[in-house]
Structure formats: structure tokens, C-alpha cells
Amino acid sequence: MPKNVYIQGIYSTAISRLFLDKGFELAFPSKTIAKRLGLEKFSSQWSAALISNPTPFGLKLFGDSIVVKEILQIIKEELDPVVIRKSKINLGLTALAEVIEESDKRSKVDIGTIQGYIWGRFPVGSKLLVSVREPIFEDDIVFSPGVCASGKYSMLVQNGDVVIPKHILNNWKGKKLLSLAKETLLPGWGAVFFETCINSDEKEIKDELEQLLAKCKTLLENKTESKGVLHEGIEYCEIYLSYESKSKLDEIRNKVIPTVKGHHYLRSWGEGMNTLIHFAENLLSHGIDKIEENLYESIFTEVFKVGKLMNIFHFKPNGRLIKLSPGKIIASDPKDKSVTLMRNLKGTGVYDGLEAKKEIGDYAVATYKLGSMVTRTHYYRKGGELIGIYSNFSTPIEIYPNAISYIDLEVDMVKKSSGEIKILDRDKLEDIVVKEIISEKLYWRLLELIENEKKELANI
């Protein structure tokens, strides 16, 4: 199978360079990327697509399972630490399912390779055409009724809507896709367009829509009585790029075009940073060095002032967001690239791990350092008495204008007021390694961090 990959988004230059060096061919790159990389030849087909994705997961990857697996391996080797979550079942899959359990709200079905559910009550033994229209990560697999079929540019869905990527919905390309859908689709059919449409030829998109319609018609006419997969769909996963991952991408991009350290991290702040980044890189291209440290210090001094309120985005490996109570900056260190927050705590019950009862007036103090994978939170009573210390292990901390962000790696450590040190949820850490959500390399790194933290806490 050819190793052609479609790449799009704010990481395009670096990731394109990375995969070219690994023997991949780029599929219809933008004019800017083609010029930067000196590409005179490229493919109009692709086996997998890598698209920039909103926070927290920096990339989404979908396509042929063999090529997706190879891309994931390269990302683990070159950009670790990363966090990967894979859909439990292919996107766009269609199958003939057999009902094996019925209940009032949903029935359990078997498609031969995996079991799931469909909303509604159906008699045991009955056969249904079912499909997968959204990626499924941690929850039960819930199929949609009817068929769908996925291609390179779109996924056709029975009794569905026309869905266009938000960032092109109102521009000329979005309007053209909507027009193509109205022109091509039959009544009762919808289409989910992928970002791969953006640089692609409109005739190819239309041809694919017609091919998918023919495929779906064949699936509906299929007379088989044997449960099983009728259309495989495409493998889908999302990849979290940590602060370190973005720093490695900076180094790769710098081989192509002058790039300040922190380019991809600062781009994650939003479009407002683009002008400043462009200015700094223009200075670099003229031989003015040491711009990075001055840039970071200036940003930290200006943005993270004492008294500012910051959110804390505590993401779990499955993508679930836990918003901790906001904290107020009580100290900021531009040289260390860190902020110290104080949070007033509310609620009742017991502090997890510390086994101490929550009381009115309790507060917590923690220092969040850019790029650190260990954060200590000191819990205090109203009068300043130390309740205990809680050490959280995470992906490298990222500090944004209004929030601290990271993905929790499940394992934690506490030091109680008695002096006892205890490791929490070690089994959960091992579970995300077994599930290949994190790499073995990151796992061994975390074990080393845990041992170092244990020694340091013992001396506090």
C-alpha cells in the first residue's frame, strides 16, 4: 500500500517535513507547504490524514489501519510524550447486527466482531442494518440505525444531515460543498465532509459522493442473513501533543524556515499571537538571536500578573475535562516560566489520598511550571496549618493566558500531615500503558519521576 499522507493545520510544516523524512509522500499539500519544502511532485491520493484538532487533542488521524498504525509509531518515537485515544470501532462502519438482548430503552446487538447497543426495543434474534457515525472512545458502543459509508473526503449517512467543517462553513469552499451535496445526494441522505476537502478537487469530491451512494445502495440491497461487517469504514484516533511535542516540532520546522522556540506552543494561544510570532521569526531570519528568551520573559511579565484569576483544565486521558476551582496568581516568575496559584476550596467530604476532612476556609497553593510533569499542591487550613501535599503527575504543563492545561496521567502521590508518603492509582497508570494510550517510554520516565518525587517529599 502506498504511504501517502494528507496533512493540514498549524503543525503542517513540521509534520510534513517529519513524514517526508520517513519515506511518506504528501497528498495535495497547500501551495505554501509545497514551496517551503521544495515539492515538485506530490500525490493526489492519500492513505491517512493528519488534521490539526482543537484543544486538548492536537491532531486527529484517520484512514487505512495499516498506515495509521505506522504513523502512530513514528509519532510515538519522534514526538513523545503524547497521549493517544483510539476509537473502539471504525468510523463509517456498516454491519448486519443480530439482537442478543432486548430492553425498554436499548437493545444489545452483535455484529460478529464486537457487541454494542442500538436505541429502541427489538426482539432477540432479529437482524438490523447498523452503522458507526461518530468515534467512540470510552463509552459503550452505540450504533445508529441504517447504513453509512466513508471515503477520503466524506462519509455518507442514511437519514443524516449535511455537515461541513466549522472553519470553512461560511467561506467559498463551504458553500461549494453544500452546493455539491444538494446537487448529488438523493432525498434521505446526508454527508459529513472531512477537512481533506479543503485543498482537493471538486470533481474528485463529487465522484466520491456518487461512488458512496452506489456503495450504500448495494449495502441496502444486500440479502445476507449472516451477521457481520459489510463496510469496514476507517480507523480514527486523536493525538494529544504535549508542550515537549510542540518543542520538538519547533526544531523540525526550524530546519525548513527560521522558527522561534515555542512557535507551536504560542500558536496554540490563538490567532492573536500570529503577528508577534511572525515578527520574532523575521528577526531570527535577519540573524538576531536570543529572541526566544526575551519573547517568553516579555509575555510572562505582561500576561501573568499577580492577582489574575486562572482556570485549571485537568483533562483525563479519555478526553474528559475536569475544571478545578480557579486560582489567583500570587507569584509569577518570568525566568522560571512559572506561576503560583492560590485556590479557595469549597465543598464537604474528605481530601482524596490525604484522608483529611474538608473544612470551611481551607485553601491550596500550587506552582505550575511550563513543561514540568510534576505539580505539588499544598493544602492548608484557614489558619495556615498544613493538611498535606498532593503531587500530580501529568503531561508537561502548558500555561495559557487564562488557564493552566495538562492531561492527568492517573498516578498521584501524597504526603500526609503525619509524614506518611503514599502512591495513589498506580494500577490506573499501568492500565493506560496496556491500552497504548501512552508509550512504554513515557511509562518508564514516569516511574523515574515518581521515585525522585518520593525522595524529595521525604526531605520536606
Q: Are residues 289 and 423 in the same domain?
A: no
Which has the higher per-residue pLDDT, 274 or 420? 420
Please tell me whether residues 322 and 282 are part of one structural domain: no
CA 365 remoteness from chain centre: 29
Taking Cα atoms as reference points, which of 336, 295, 313 lies closest to residue 395?
313
Residue 130 lies in a domain: yes
Within a domain: 250? no
Interatomic CA distance for residues 67 and 3, integer angstroms: 7
Mean pLDDT of 161-189: 88
Question: Whole-angstrom Cα distance, residue 222 to residue 147?
Answer: 11
Which H or E element spans position 326? strand 321-333
Q: Quick one: three-class SS letters along 389-418?
A: EEEEEECCCEEECCEEEEEEEEEEEEEECC
Which residue's C-alpha cell is 489574575? 308
Identify the burial level of 443 via C-beta atoms within 10 angstroms of its C-beta, where 0-12 means exposed, 13-18 middle and 19 or more buried: middle
pLDDT score of 150 more than 80: yes
User: Does some domain include residue 380?
Assistant: yes
Whether 318 and 454 share a structural domain? yes
By DSSP bridging, strand 115-119 and strand 142-145 are: parallel
Q: Would you say residue 141 lies in a domain?
A: yes
CA distance 362 to 347: 10
366 belongs to a structural domain: yes
Asked whether residue 395 falls in the same domain as residue 369, the answer is: yes
In a domain, 129, yes or no: yes
* CA pair distance 193, 268, nearest whole angstrom: 25
Same domain, 372 and 441: yes
Length of the chain: 460
Residues 6+ apart with CB under 8 A from 93: 131, 132, 229, 231, 232, 233
Structural domain of residue 195, as residue ranges?
Answer: 94-233
Mark whether 315 and 198 lie in a shared domain.
no
- Per-residue pLDDT reduced to its tens digit, 343-364: 999 888 999 899 899 999 999 9
* Residues 332, 347: Cα–Cα separation, whole Å: 28
- Of the candidates 414, 437, 441, which has an alpha carbon nearest to the alpha carbon of residue 425? 414
CB count in 10 Å sphere of residue 360: 9
Q: Kindly state the cell numbers that stand for 271.
A: 490567532
Cell of 428: 490506573
Q: Is 356 helix (H, G, I), strand (E, B) or coil?
A: strand
253 located within any domain: no
Is the same domain home to 273 and 321? no
33 with 160, same domain: the answer is no
Q: What pLDDT score was predicted for residue 277?
A: 83
Rounded Cα gap, residues 363 and 380, in angstroms: 5
Question: Average per-residue pLDDT in the chain?
Answer: 92
- Per-residue model confidence (pLDDT) at position 199: 78
- What's the pLDDT score for residue 89? 95
Among 207, 242, 277, identify where a domain stops: 242
pLDDT score, position 428: 95
Task: Note whether residue 258 is domain-resident.
Answer: no
Task: Indicate the range of 53-57, 124-128, 143-147, 157-161 predicted with least confidence.
Answer: 53-57
Question: Residue 354's domain is classified under what CATH number?
Answer: 2.40.380.10
CB-CB contact of 89 with 132 (8 Å): yes
Q: Which residues pair with residue 404 across a beta bridge?
A: 312, 399
3-state secondary structure (DSSP) of residue 373:
coil
pLDDT in tens, 398-455: 999 999 999 999 999 999 989 999 999 999 999 999 999 999 999 999 999 999 999 9
- Residue 291's pLDDT band (boundaries 50, 70, 90)? confident
What confidence tens digit (pLDDT) does each residue in 70-95 have? 999 999 999 999 999 999 999 999 99
Q: Identify the pLDDT of residue 298.
A: 86
Alpha-carbon distance of 437 to 89, in angstroms, equals 16
Query: Is residue 382's pLDDT more than 70?
Result: yes
H or E segment and range at residue 107: strand 106-110
* Overall number of domains in the chain: 4
Task: Indicate yes or no: pTM above 0.95.
Answer: no
Burial of 300 from C-beta contacts in 10 A (0-12 / 13-18 / 19+) = buried
> Of 216, 88, 75, nearest to 156 (Cα)?
216
Band of residue 174 on the pLDDT scale cut at 50, 70, 90 = confident
- The identity of residue 430, as a single letter, is E
| Spatial contact of 173 and 180, defined as CB atoms under 8 Å apart | no
CB 197 within 8 A of CB 146: no
171 and 193 belong to one structural domain: yes
Residue 292 in this model has a pLDDT that exceeds 80: no
116 and 102 belong to one structural domain: yes
User: Do residues 173 and 276 both lie within one domain?
Assistant: no
- Quote the pLDDT of residue 56: 73
Do the Cβ atoms of 58 and 11 come closer than 8 Å?
A: yes
pLDDT of amino acid 1:
59
Percent of the chain at pLDDT exceeding 70: 98
Mean pLDDT score, 33-48: 86
> Considering all CA atoms of the chain, what is the largest pairwise distance in Å, rounded to the nearest integer?
75
pLDDT of residue 440: 95
DSSP string, 128-151: EEEE--S--SSSPPEEEES-EEE-
Q: Is the peptide bond before 56 cis (omega within 30 degrees of 0)?
A: yes
pLDDT average, residue stretch 207-218: 93
